[in-house]
Structure 1
Amino acid sequence: MRGDAGLFDLLKRAIVPAVCMLMMGYFLVAAITGPTGVLSWRGFETEKSELAEDVAARAQEKAALEKQVALLDPRGVDLDMADELVRRNLNVVKPDEVIITLPDKTDETATQ
């Protein structure tokens, strides 16, 4: 009986450190392979660079729109810009005019 009691005491004393080791192992694996772990950093860097490119493109679009808005300021409308917008949006053409359409800048960059 003495041998059984010694084994039981040994298991009783070893259970807390064993559970702690298992928990540490779980957290270590999660820190390496988890969704925000070390192995995911490479994907985050790629996503970060893609988002930075998207931000730069949107900043260019914003600047172009701001320029267009400035040209349509009610205190001093650029007549050429207003005429162009009206003709484009309403499809208004005088009988003696010829329309020559040019490809958009986005079309030119897509074909290159």
Structure 2
Amino acid sequence: MVKRKRLRAILIPVFLYAVSASVVGYFLFHAQNGARGLEAKREFKRQIYEKTIELEKLKAEHAEWDRRTELVRAERIDADILEEEARKTLGLVHENDVIVFLGSPSGR
């Protein structure tokens, strides 16, 4: 009888500590690796950084296209730009022409 009480006095706190430790471990694991955990937060920050860089590139490209379209507006058409775009689009070249197409500054 005394052995049983002693065994209960030891096993019940050990069991409670084990359950408490497993509950804390569960929450710690999901705080690190869960859908809203620290790993997910790092991944979201990385994606935001990449999308910000992509947005800056697209803004620069948009500004370049705005500049180029401004050159061919009806009020003031730049003949060289118009001819360059027409030749590039239509693929027309005279037999004695030497044409060098340079890429735009945005790398396209």
How far did residue 50 of structure 1 move?
0.7
1:90-109 alignment, distance < 5 Å: 90-102=90-102, 106=107
How far did residue 26 of structure 1 move?
6.8
Q: Kindly provide the amino acid, as one letter, of the partner of residue 67 in structure 1.
A: R
Work out whether 1:82 is the aligned partner of 2:82. yes
> What TM-score, normalized by structure 2, do the two folds share?
0.62
Q: Residues 100 and 38 of structure 1: is their aligned pair in 2 closer, same or farther, counting only changes over 3 Å? A: closer
> What TM-score, normalized by structure 1, do the two folds share?
0.60
Q: 1:13-43 CA distances to partner (integer Å, 9 max, x unpaired)?
A: xxxxxxxxx7x98777544432122331111
CA distance in 1 between counterparts of 2:99 and 2:90 reads 14
Unaligned runs of 5+ in 1: 1-21, 108-112
- Which residue is 2:45 aligned to? 45
Unaligned runs of 5+ in 2: 1-22
Higher relative contact order at CA 8 Å, sep ≥6: structure 1 or structure 2?
Answer: 2
Aligned residues: percent identity? 26
Q: Kindly provide the amino acid, as one letter, of the partner of residue 38 in structure 1.
A: L
Q: Kindly provide the amino acid, as one letter, of the partner of residue 58 in structure 1.
A: L
